[in-house]
Amino acid sequence: MSDVLGNSPVSSRDNNVVVVFSKGVSALLMFIATCCFWNLYSYFTSPLRKYPGPFFARWTRLWYLYQSWTGDSHLELYRLHQKHGPIVRTGPNMIDVDLPELMCTIFHIRNGWPKTEFYHGSSALMDDGQIVYNLFSQTDPKKHKKEKGPIAKHYSTASIADLEPHMNTMIEMLCSQLETRCLGGAEAPNEFDLSDWILYYAWDVIGAVTFSEPIGYLAKGCDFDGTLRNAKKAMDYFVVVGAMPFLDYFFDKNPFLRMGPPGFNTITDICVQRLNYRLNDWSGGKDSGYHDPKTPDFLDHFIKAMELNPDRVTEQQIISWLMINMIAGADTTASTICSAFYHSLKNPSVWEKLTAEILAHNLHTPATYKDARALPYVDAVIREAIRVLPGVSMPLKRYVPRGGVNLRNGDYIPGGVVIGMNPYITNRNPTIYGEDPDKFRPERWLRDEKGDETEEAFQSRLKDMNKHNLSFGGGSRVCIGKDMALFQVYKVLVTLITRFKIELVDPKQWRVTNSWFIRQEGLKVRMMKRQP
Ligand code: HEM
């Protein structure tokens, strides 16, 4: 009730509200003050304080998160390295380094430094509310070894050679689809985006070698089940939450309200279905595709691994292996093939030499890997395409182990600091790759005969370039699918050039997005069948 002056008497309930409110405000102010103090304290005492880098990166990982989101993070990082030198501060507890001498230590074959939680977000499987880490995202070295052990040999050059018939079937299908859907006559040649078809090819090859069944993108000529679109979204998500891994628990792995990317449901379904068919009744006609037990695929190998190691290999482990083949193997390979086509087409003298070498050999197509690999200029073009635009162009992040590390310049970096090395940056180190690292110049992989380079000097230069090439990672965490990727790249490049005349329509339409993997779009070409 109001008093005579119209003022409301203040009730004890109102009093309580005021007290609670002011306590809340004080707590909030205390919290903010503590954060500010902690930030200032960390800033001034950080062992990374002396390293240059963007102002915001010193204070918060949000700077890195934002860069990851832009799709151009490799360009920004390269700009920063050119401005500041080999060590750039990219986060409160993180530096990015371009120090070739440190590569073998970080990516050591036995004592490689541990991966950070950055990789955890890329785990697409959940079991009983628990994240199932895969071969790529597993950060515990012991568990990683246990997971890799039973299958590593199936990714060796010799084992991949056994899978060539699967790849040949897909190359034939790619060529016949290009002929019927994309090629115009001599008078009115069609323009189309070759990067779409390369992506369909790469995903179908992975399906073919993994369970003898392409997913169907080549046959249908489109992303008919939305997996490729979803994969793009998932990769965009993985790379952003990787900057602040706890966000993944809030968005994707949130058991109450999932707000993450669409996920790989179609891929998971295919993997589960294929495994069930094969385990339960593979001779009863349920196993579709062209599976022939005489030409084993990865699924055959994985099931065998389970039979040999029943205590170590579960069905869930097989699903995880199958999925990592699909998720890690297709986009990266497609990107490398596109890079080889784009960069050589854009440089007419390179394209001329490449075509001349391939046509001079008049190879039977689909070209065998052995034949394609033996062509020196083809080899140089592919190495250079991988160098200038590696399929993974984000920093490979590792923790400095306990005890820290002494750098060659005398600096000491304590244990627990995150060090990133980005293949896009390290592949441009002029002390390793020459003074023109931004230029697409396949000749750098060949002996400079005009310049009187001796064979011995060339071999030493080549060894140095290969030793410091991080495009497939290194040491115990080196890419398990490297050979599989290379088989596909060499075979398809040589086969397409043997069968078709190809012209780049407009280089300006080519776009690169740095997601978890490098994505290329807009490789607009005209193609015509070569006369037999
Ligand atoms: C040109 C194509 C490819 C590129 C550029 C590429 C690049 C890489 C890189 C840089 C890493 C190391 C990541 C790190 O240490 O942080 C890696 C690891 C890995 N890659 Fe690839 N990759 C390619 C193709 C493939 C294929 C075809 C597969 C599967 C069939 C595959 C499966 C994997 C797996 C499972 C790992 C983790 C290996 C481990 O930690 O033991 N990759 N890849």
Once rounded to an integer, what is the mean pLDDT over residues 455-475?
96
Contact yes or no for 395/419 (Cβ under 8 A): no
| Domain assignment of residue 205, yes or no | yes
Rounded to the nearest angstrom, the distance between the alpha carbon of 320 and the centre of ligand 1 is: 15
Q: Is the pLDDT of residue 288 over 60?
A: no
**Cα separation, 471 vs 87, whole angstroms:** 19
Contact yes or no for 427/470 (Cβ under 8 A): yes
| Domain assignment of residue 194, yes or no | yes
| Domain assignment of residue 302, yes or no | yes
Q: Is the pLDDT of residue 113 over 80?
A: yes
Of 333, 386, 479, the one to substitute when testing ligand 1's pocket (max ligand atoms within 8 A of C-beta) is 479
CA angle 83/86/87 to nearest 5° reads 95
Residue type at 86 in one-letter notation: P
CATH number at residue 511: 1.10.630.10
| Domain assignment of residue 60, yes or no | yes
| Domain assignment of residue 5, yes or no | no
479 is in an annotated binding site: yes
| Domain assignment of residue 183, yes or no | yes
Check pocket membership of 486 for ligand 1, CB cut-off 6 A. no
Check pocket membership of 332 for ligand 1, CB cut-off 6 A. yes
User: What are 193-203's pLDDT values in tens digits?
Assistant: 999 999 999 99
Check pocket membership of 328 for ligand 1, CB cut-off 6 A. yes
Give Dmax over CA atoms of the chain in angstroms. Answer: 107
Task: Please identify, by atom number, the ligand 1 atom nearest to the C-alpha of residue 471.
Answer: 10
| Domain assignment of residue 295, yes or no | yes
Q: Is the pLDDT of residue 212 over 60?
A: yes
Tokens matching residue 299: 């699924």
Once rounded to an integer, what is the mean pLDDT over residues 512-530?
94
Q: Is the pLDDT of residue 4 over 50?
A: no
**Cα separation, 191 vs 267, whole angstroms:** 31
- Cα atoms in the 13 Å half-sphere on the side-chain side of 370: 5
Check pocket membership of 167 for ligand 1, CB cut-off 6 A. no
Residue type at 494 in one-letter notation: V
* pLDDT range class, residue 281, cuts 50, 70, 90: low
Task: Compute φ and ψ for 524, nearest 5 degrees.
Answer: -80, 120
Report how many helices (DSSP H) and strands (DSSP E) the chain contains, helices first.
Answer: 21, 13
* pLDDT range class, residue 12, cuts 50, 70, 90: low
Rounded to the nearest angstrom, the distance between the alpha carbon of 518 and the centre of ligand 1 is: 13
Share of the chain above pLDDT 90, in %: 71
Task: Compute φ and ψ for 362, nearest 5 degrees.
Answer: 45, 55
Contact yes or no for 347/440 (Cβ under 8 A): yes
Contact yes or no for 392/517 (Cβ under 8 A): yes
Check pocket membership of 134 for ligand 1, CB cut-off 6 A. no
CA angle 205/207/212 to nearest 5° reads 100
The neighbour count for residue 194, using CB atoms within 10 Å, is: 26
What pLDDT, on a 0 to 100 scale, did the predictor assign at position 490? Answer: 98
User: What are 291-341's pLDDT values in tens digits?
Assistant: 777 788 999 999 999 999 999 899 999 999 999 999 999 999 999 999 999
| Domain assignment of residue 271, yes or no | yes
The whole domain housing 128 covers 55-529
The number of domains in the chain is: 1
| Stretch among 122-131, 175-184, 359-368, 470-479 having the lowest mean pLDDT | 122-131
